[in-house]
Amino acid sequence: MITQQQLTAWLDTLCPMHVMLDATGHVTSVGPTLQKLRPDAPMVGQRFLELFELTRPRTVTNVAGLLAHAGAKLHLQLRDEPRTALKGVAVATGQGAIVNLSFGISVLDAVRDYALTNSDFAATDLTIELLYLVEAKSAAMEASRTLNQRLQGAKIAAEEQAFTDTLTGLKNRRAMEHVLSRKVTGPEPFALMNLDLDFFKAVNDTMGHAAGDHVLQVAARIMVEETRDQDMVARVGGDEFVLMFDGLRDKRRLGGIARRLIARLQEPVSFEDQLCTVSASIGTVISGHSCGRDPGELLQQADMALYASKRAGRGRHTFFDDTLTGCGQAIRHVDDAPSLPGGSAA
């Protein structure tokens, strides 16, 4: 003779979401997983139809109606929040009924909402296989996300490296050409400044390339300090730099920047108990103030202004100006500074 206690123990193992009802429809036993849905509200002793609402068939209002649909699929939901949807099937016991419930396709929501694990389901329940698949999918998706993040990071790093001068940390010629090509077709005004270090070759020849590299790094830091965040500083050659100033066409402000750069760059740089001495020649072209209509032409005009500064004695700043004798011919000096004595050409 099977006792009620034995039957309950078997049902807890085989059907952890069962409900056993007496003839009046009161719950006499509830599976551990089902009770986990309402851990603070014991179901034993409660009326089944006060805990669960049958959404299909809707005509069931008592145990007799429930037994009339024995063996048929039942659609239910808990009456209080969260109103978890359930599927079920009922069988008569002679003294009431047993209703076995499951989550159906809402199992993933239930697992999330109630923190269910494999131990909450019967060992043969296909839900366990589904949970394994979900866990595997989650692990695969997380691995994929991690890999994508690493690849994206590597891509960004590679792109950054492709546009960066490794010695100074400034943008390189490729980056400068990319930005300049975009600026010449845009509506915003800008100024382009070509800067060359005077007497830099003498530093390399007399003190070595390590000293020259140190001078370039110091010069790069000075140029960054004298420009705004939205401006661009690029090293485009050995000792040649290009600076671009967004929205800036005022000659007085540009001249002030050039004078500060020249003054700071001609200060001696200490390297291994020796002093490295250079200066800077600068040429500037302003968008809309020249005949330049493409990047190459603007760079050529800035270069012409730069070499006008060098011919005038170095350590000077010159604006390109075509208002006197025509495009590409008139160069007007507006900022002069004494050149450094001695040294060879840059």
Which amino acids are annotated catalytic? 239
Q: Which two tokens stand for residue 163?
A: 């546009």
DSSP state of 111: H
114: CB partners within 8 A, 6+ apart: 36, 37
Q: Is the peptide bond before 82 cis (omega within 30 degrees of 0)?
A: yes
Short-list 314, 303, 302, 299, CA closest to 265? 314
Is 212 strand, coil or helix?
A: helix
CA dihedral 78, 79, 80, 84 (to 10 degrees): 30
Q: Which two tokens stand for residue 103?
A: 């989550």
Q: Indicate the angle between helix axes 209-225 and 251-265, nearest 10 degrees.
A: 150
- Phi, psi (rounded to 5 degrees) for 37: -70, -25
CB 91 within 8 A of CB 70: yes
